Amino acid sequence: MDALERWMIRIAVPLGLATALIAGIALPHSTPLPAVALGSRWILYSERSLALFYGFLLVLVPVVRSLRGVLPIELSLRGARYEEAGAATDVFEALDARVAASEDRAARLSDVVAEALEQLATGQSGISPAVQANVSQHPPPA
């Protein structure tokens, strides 16, 4: 997030709050107050201001994040829900590490097998001559 975007947010949110407060007070109301006002104009003003400010934030947050290329996967009355990129990234990084370790083990195993095949092809089994003589004198049972 660059400095310009931070300053725009620092200006837009208080400006939105001030606008919501002014609009909440300036909007007309009926002579018998609604039941949610509990008989007080100031409670009605504060409830309307709160609802307007919340609506402003509900629109502002997805707009700001969409400018950065991140779109919400769900919009509801509780707000915008975004994909948890951090959790997916951590899982993929762990998976990449496991794949790399498996590739290293497979390469080492391949080297060991290639060396063993080479020794078998050249007749060098790595067994001492005394053991080879003993084995040749006493072949294993079939």
Query: What's the pLDDT score for residue 1?
Result: 57
Residue 68 CA, distance from chain mean position: 16
Query: What's the pLDDT score for residue 4?
Result: 78
Task: Sketch the domain layout of the chain as residue ranges.
Answer: 3-83, 84-123
Average model confidence (pLDDT) for the chain? 81
86-89, Cβ contacts within 8 angstroms, sequence gap of 24 or more: none
Whether residue 92 contacts residue 100, with contact meaning beta carbons closer than 8 Å, is answered with no
| Residue of 49, 101, 57 whose CA lies nearest to 75 | 57
Listed in order, strand segments (DSSP E) in the chain are: 74-76, 79-81
Matching residue, tokens 């409830």:
47
Query: What's the pLDDT score for residue 87?
Result: 66
Whole-model pTM?
Answer: 0.52
Confidence of residue 36 (pLDDT cuts 50, 70, 90): confident
Query: What's the pLDDT score for residue 129?
Result: 63
Query: What's the pLDDT score for residue 2?
Result: 77
Query: What's the pLDDT score for residue 138?
Result: 62
Query: What's the pLDDT score for residue 16?
Result: 92
For residue range 74-127, what is the model confidence (pLDDT) as tens digits?
877 777 787 776 666 777 888 899 999 999 999 999 888 888 888 777 766 566
Matching residue, tokens 């009605």:
44
Query: What's the pLDDT score for residue 106?
Result: 92
